Structure 1
Amino acid sequence: MAFDLSGIWEFKLLEPGQKEREEQAAGKLLKNSLPMPVPSSYNDIYPGKKFADHMGDMVYQRSFTVTETMQRQGRLVLRFGGVTHTASVYLNGAHLGCHKGGFLPFSFDITESAVMGENLLTVYVNNVTDYSTLPCGRVVTEQFPGLPEQTRNLPNFDFFNYSGIMRPVWLYTTPRYYIEDIEVYGRMDGSFCWNITSAGEGAGEAEVRVLDAEGACVFSGSGANGEGRVPGARLWSTDDPYLYRLQVRLPGADGGQGDEYTESFGFREIAIRDCRILLNGKPVYLKGFGKHEEGITRGRGTDIALMVKDLGLLKWIGANSFRTSHYPNSEEMMRLCDRLGILVIDEAPAVGLNTGFTATGLLGGNPKGTWETLETAEHHRTVMQELVKRDKNHPCVIAWSVANEPASQEEGAREYFAPLMEVTRQNDIQKRPVTIVTYEGSTPETCQVAELCDFLMLNRYRGWYDTEGNLEGAAAKLKAELEGFHRRCPDKPVMLGEYGADTIAGLHDVNGRLFSEEYQTAFMRAYGEVFDSLPYITGEHVWVFADFATAENIKRVDGNKKGIFTRDRRPKQAAYFLKERWSRL
């Protein structure tokens, strides 16, 4: 049994020092609260700059009912899809625990702490980013004449710090003997393997069946782990995203109630050979975007309708892939990509790992002290383990991105990332490619991490942040740099993870000046000509799918405008160019 706790919760922003007092009353109803939709980012729900830009703690609260029928099921679990960035959870005034990291799920067994009837759930959320969090930020205190000190949280990343309970919250039941985790990997030849983790002593041996899309059983077996084969298995691909289902049943002890779960998967393999990423043994050229999970009003809150619309636009424009920049997307999005055949580079929320960046990603700060300053290594390791555990069975996931635009040119970068790359590979039985997405400061001569990566993913803005307005010169610099990386790593595929130009929708210029729709289209054309001239380029991801909100900055007019679509998903001129280009590739 599962119950969606989405809906209207009670909500209140907390002043500095107020959380400690509030927690002492976690078992009581909130006073002076506001209604708040969950899931959503709280920031844009009510007017007021101080409300939207609040730094620090906030509290959510709602009640739910536990019935006798639910208790008879055996075990009761509370699951959060994602709370940004840290959560401290109380049930009926008792502390259940904490979770750090805003984009991955966590859960609590509340069998013993829940009571029959009404239960009060209180969640304290903190949205501060600093040198210990992913993504990273800085907390600064400033003094202005005649005013008290002001403390601000400056992001090291170029997107708005949307916060809150941003993904669904579920209450569900399981038997006392239950399935804790399922791992399944289907290969091209129809062979597959499974690993089942169960909990609760005395459960019977797991029973396993594979069902095709029509529900017919094509394999049956047993055991907590094992291997099997489906003769003539239909492969999962972008053109034919065929899904099978692994049905697992765990009998209860002595004939008691057992547990059952069904996990979708596909038969497909990812490999790298001859400077190409291969899907099912054939080269695949990645066409698509870096893509934020963001829209109007809900911010980064889960929005099923917007997800489906976005993937429909991806299909319309001829894209076959995107990167979850710069954090894991929701589980609902991953399931949709499985179903629609969209290839996903799954990225950790490790952005801003560069003390030389300041708010909105502009250069500044301390350009040399990153790896002596950051305190993220252990948390980063946990995040990679959680990410692979959550998304390991999705056929849409073809690669892992451990970080975006870190200070990978600084001494210490290799020592920081080598263990993270290793733990990612160790936790993935499919051994999907792993990469680190690097920026212009990390050149073929200075990059410390290129050899750690299975393929190179580069963010480059020649023609925008430098060589602005000179696309001929920008293309020449881009090509020379790509050739430099290929000479250094001749066996590794290379792709552009980001390239783009801010564009004001509706702004036209006969001379194709900066910010015009004509310049964005010419920018795409110039980069495309470079890609087409180099046989080792394995993909192109434009920055960005749609315009998005950022922190306030004089270089960001109402957010980042590099979208090929506007924030409300209207196509700019460049969308039609890319649609025509990608239809030919």
Structure 2
Amino acid sequence: MKRISALLAALLSAVAGAAPLPYDKPSPPDLAGNFRVGNDFNTNLYLNGIWEIAPTFKIQKEMPAESEFYPVPVPSSWMFAADFPIASPRFKRGSWGGACTYDGKNLQEFEGAWYRRKFIAPEVPPGRELLLAVDRVTIGGVVYLNGEKLGVCMERRPGLWNITDKVKRGAVNQLVIRVDAAISGEEKMFLGAEMTANVKQKATLRGITQDVRLVIRPAGLRVDDLFMKTSVRRGEITFQLRVANPQKLTGDAGARFVVRPYEREAAVKQFPARLKLTGEEVQEFSFTCPWRDAHLWETDDPYLYQAEAVLDRDGGTVEHSLPRRFGFREVWIDGREMMLNGKPFRLITLPAANRDAFVTSAKNHLLPVLNLYRKAGFNTLMISNEYAWRVGGCAQFYDDLFDEADRTGWLVALPLGRVYDINWNSAPQRAEWLRMNRELMERYRNSPSLVFWSMNFNLLGYPWDLNPYAWGSDFKPADSVSDLGRKRREAGESEALIRGIDDSRIIYHHAGGNYGSMITSNFYISWPPLQERADYPEPWSKHGVRPFNAVELGFPTQMDYSRCRDGSWMTMGGAEPMEAEYCAPYLGRDAYRLQENRYLKLIDSNATDKVESNCDFYNSYQPYWWNYNLYEHAPVSLVQQLVSPAYIRVWRAYGVNGFCPWVDERDLCGVGFEY
């Protein structure tokens, strides 16, 4: 998000101290003070700020009356109304989003809202055009300008409209966006191996959840996309250039790729090229140039460049793109090793649940978390798979994350759309799947910290992917097991489509067993003896032929402390936790002495009259399970410390390529290490 950090800080301060809100009216129409990024040819002018909102309990097709609108920040979500309160006496702020009400009703149950914002359009130089970009509305939106409907957009279909001839020059214009966020039905969750579950669809985001911008760009020949692919092994850089040519020009044009150190003026390299325009509205070009003395991007020396494309025609410059940040580095797989710039690298991964653009992805939350985990030895971020592609589940705003990762040397795995999100046999749905993935990939693929594309979350797993001898023998179950034949075919087809967009990164399938470029496993093995746990990778270390990455690793997890042993989190989450009983083999009588009274009280008072999987069923929405963090309890923390070295030290000695402790930093409590 652009230029809302100070507002966020003020809002959090106001929430904490119950102070008056830092706004009581919408931002002025004059955009002179609004954040912008630009040069003589291209400008992004952000309309973020204080808009007005009229929430509607049900979707309302007619625009509400003038008296229904009240100030609210944009971007924002009314599901996070405690952090983004509405400046209205009808709004009652609670301590968190689920406790906020509007007209006495829970605001998280509202299915719609109307937003509006007034602005004075900027001057547009000759040869340029003015566009309106609505980067993300969750879940769907209808956009109006001065009473005229421009079109619709959705959470994974951004809106972009040419408004050059629709705005009032030098006068106030009104932008209105109707957000429709009703959701119903079920979706399938792949929990790993053969376990699947149908869950009710539920929106965790509703609102205008990314930037709204005015875009000034050339009306003729222009740069539509620029991707820098670098090769350390070959000592070269490839510029993949996509050019928009709405005037359908033909003939020759010149191109220059200007490379500078990031955020500096002096150019260090210029690479000239010639374009042959054929009259197509969109053309793609690729130019490979030698570069053997580049300053490499390394995790301990994350050096950054920026590149700009300049287009010349008829003796003059017609386009100069905005800079794109990149780093000169190369990743690949060599046998059992993952290589970065010719050196093996290992992963200890943080699962980053960056589901919204305002809290989990915002810098004021993100940077302290990254600094904390860095001190614990983590070096990799795995952006959450589970919610990233759910309807109404994620803003997919990773700009701040990649800005920090690129600058500080984190490695990142980004999840792509799954084949089971659509009917894979439908050609139109596959085309839409590819478009959504392409847009996300093109937004972030110049980031050097992005080294993995993660695909098909939990689709390809099978029980034997926990067997260490299967890792060592490269075992693959028969196609008839858990319908793996069909799943592998679809996974292979989807991977080929992704490689057509970007083949410069390592692609893996999350919890895919021995399928693909590396072995990946959701490694939850509960309570084996410590020595057995430590020596699991031994067969792989002797005979494995590809990297092994435990993309989810139980240290153990909350479910391992559950009385229920049926392997399904849907029932284990409601079974009585047996903290002391599972800790006692490691801690003896101290496991009972260290239990807290508040924990014991919850265990005594939280049971229901239900029985599932031969276990007493508890109210799993109470804090003892999901919100009452077992990892904060002394018995559990001490056991985690005993188990951790089996992975941290011994697995490292076996050469394991990486693992992701699931799901809490306290899994590594008290252990100092580097991996």
**Under TM normalisation by the shorter chain, which class is it?**
0.7 to 0.9
Match in the other structure for 1:519: 636
- Give the drift of 1:66: 0.5
Conserved 8 A contact 1:486-1:492: no
> d(CA) in 2 for partners of 1:346 and 1:453?
17
Distance 2:495 2:543 in 1: 20
What corresponds to 1:217 in structure 2?
267
| Paired amino acid for 1:217 | A
Q: Report deviation, 1:34.
A: 3.6
Q: Distance in 1 between matches of 2:543 and 2:134?
A: 44
Deviates more, 1:221-230 or 1:314-323: 221-230
What's the CA shift string for 1:374-406, capped at 9, x where partnerless? x97554333322222222211111011123334
Give deviations 1:145-179, integer Å, cap 9, x for gaps.
xxxxxxxx9248xxx72332222222221122322
Corresponding residue of 2:44: 2
- 5 Å-filtered alignment, 1:19-98, equals 19=60, 21-22=61-62, 25=63, 31-45=67-81, 46=93, 47-48=99-100, 51-54=106-109, 56-67=111-122, 69-70=123-124, 72=126, 74-98=128-152
Q: 1:60-91 CA deviation, whole Å, 9 max, x = no partner?
A: 22222203x23646112223443333333333
- Give the gaps of 5 or more residues in structure 2: 1-42, 82-92, 94-98, 191-198, 276-285, 389-395, 463-481, 560-578, 584-589, 596-629
Q: d(CA) in 2 for partners of 1:454 and 1:180?
A: 32
> Who is 1:110 aligned against?
163
String of CA shifts for 1:420-443, please: whole Å, max 9, x gaps. 21111111041x1212223xxxxx
User: Structure 1 residue 235: deviation in Å?
Assistant: 0.7
Q: 1:228 aligns with which of 289, 307, 326?
A: 289
Task: Name the CA shift for 1:461/1:393 in 2 (closer, same or farther; >3 Å).
Answer: same
Structural mapping, 1:287-298, within 5 Å = 287-293=348-354, 298=358
Q: Which gives a bigger RCO, structure 1 or 2 (Cα 8 Å, sep 6+)?
A: 1
Whether 1:540 and 2:659 are equivalent positions in the alignment is yes
Q: What are the equivalent positions in structure 2 for 1:157-196 lying under 5 Å apart?
A: 161-177=204-220, 178-189=222-233, 190-196=235-241
Q: Structure 1 residues 581 and 33, CA, compared in 2 at 3 Å: closer, same or farther?
A: same
In structure 1, the partner of 2:382 is: 323
Q: Does 1:341 align with 2:409?
A: yes
Seen in structure 2, the aligned counterparts of structure 1 residues 134 and 207 have a Cα distance that, compared at 3 Å, is farther
C-alpha contact (below 8 Å) 1:41/1:166 kept by paired residues = yes
Are the counterparts in 1 of residues 139 and 181 from structure 2 also a CA contact under 8 Å?
yes
Give 1:492 deviation, angstroms.
3.8
Aligned to 1:364: none
Aligned length: 492
Q: Deviations over 1:453-483 (max 9, x none)?
A: 32233334443xxxxxxx4459857976x78
Unaligned runs of 5+ in 1: 137-152, 355-369, 439-448, 464-470, 545-562, 565-571
- 1:275-424 to 2 correspondences below 5 Å: 275-293=336-354, 298-299=358-359, 303-326=362-385, 327=388, 328-348=396-416, 350=418, 379-406=432-459, 410-411=482-483, 412-424=486-498
TM-aligned CA distance change 1:530 to 1:312, over 3 Å? closer
Asked if 1:240 corresponds to 2:301, the answer is yes
Distance in 2 (alpha carbons) for counterparts of 1:206 and 1:276: 39
Aligned equivalent of 2:392: none
Give the SS at the match of 2:109: coil
Whether the aligned pair in 2 keeps the contact of 1:499 and 1:542 (CA below 8 Å) is: yes
Q: Would you say the 8 A contact 1:167–1:330 is kept in 2? A: no
Aligned equivalents of 2:67, 2:366: Cα separation in 1? 35
* Cα distance in 2 for residues equivalent to 1:193 and 1:322: 27
Q: Offset of 1:280 from its aligned partner?
A: 1.0
Q: Deviations over 1:511-544 (max 9, x none)?
A: 2775425424533652551465453521122234
Alpha-carbon distance in 2 for matches of 1:533, 1:171: 55
Distance across 1 between alignment mates of 2:547 and 2:488: 18
- Please provide the CA RMSD for this pair: 4.1
Letter in structure 1 aligned against 2:508: T
Offset, 1:349: 5.8
1:193-237 Cα deviation digits (max 9, x unpaired): 102222234594222222235544332222353122334211101
CA contact (8 A) 1:162 1:299 kept: no
Counterpart Cα distance in 2 of 1:377 and 1:129: 23
Please say which of residues 265-274 and 202-211 is displaced more in the overlay: 202-211
**Whole-angstrom CA distance in 2 between matches of 1:454 and 1:241:** 26
Q: What secondary structure sits across from 1:220 in the alignment? A: strand
User: Retained in 2: the 8 A contact 1:236–1:268?
Assistant: yes
How far did residue 331 of structure 1 move?
1.9
Counterpart of 2:550 in structure 1 is: 495
Check 1:418–1:352 CA distance in 2 against 1; reply closer, same or farther (3 A cut): closer
- C-alpha deviation, 1:181, in angstroms: 0.8
1:258 aligns with 2:319: yes
Structure 1 match to 2:200: 154
Aligned partner of 2:519 in structure 1 is 456
Contact 1:291–1:325 (Cα < 8 Å) also in 2: yes
Helix, strand or coil at the partner of 2:239: strand
Structure 2 contact 513–521 (Cα < 8 Å) conserved? no
Q: Is the 8 A contact 1:75 1:176 kept in 2?
A: yes
CA separation of 1:79/1:191 partners in 2, compared to 1, >3 Å: closer, same or farther? same
Q: 1:109 to 1:244 in 2, by over 3 A?
A: same
Q: How far apart, CA to CA, are the structure 2 residues paired with 1:488 and 1:15?
A: 61
Whether the aligned pair in 2 keeps the contact of 1:180 and 1:198 (CA below 8 Å) is yes
> What is the alpha-carbon distance in structure 2 between the residues aligned to residue 197 and residue 31 of structure 1?
47
1:247-283 CA deviation, whole Å, 9 max, x = no partner?
2222366647533321121111111123222111111
> What SS does the aligned partner of 1:395 have?
coil
Equivalent residue in structure 2 for 1:120, among 143, 162, 174: 174
Q: What is the SS of the residue equivalent to 1:537? A: coil
Provide, for residues 24-61 of structure 1, a one-character-per-residue CA deviation record: whole Å limited to 9, x for no partner. x4xx8765134322222321214436544326433322
Output the CA distance in 1 between the equivalents of 2:219 and 2:179.
Answer: 31
Amino acid at match of 2:175: L
What is the letter of the counterpart of residue 290 of structure 1? P
Specify the code of the residue in structure 2 equivalent to 1:154.
Answer: K
CA–CA separation in structure 1 for the residues paired with 2:158 and 2:532: 45
CA contact (8 A) 1:36 1:42 kept: no
| One-letter amino acid of the counterpart of residue 304, structure 2 | L
Q: In structure 2, do the counterparts of structure 1 residues 415 and 92 end up closer, same or farther at CA, with 3 Å as the change threshold?
A: farther
Distance 1:454 1:520, change over 3 A: farther
Q: Aligned letter for 1:581?
A: F
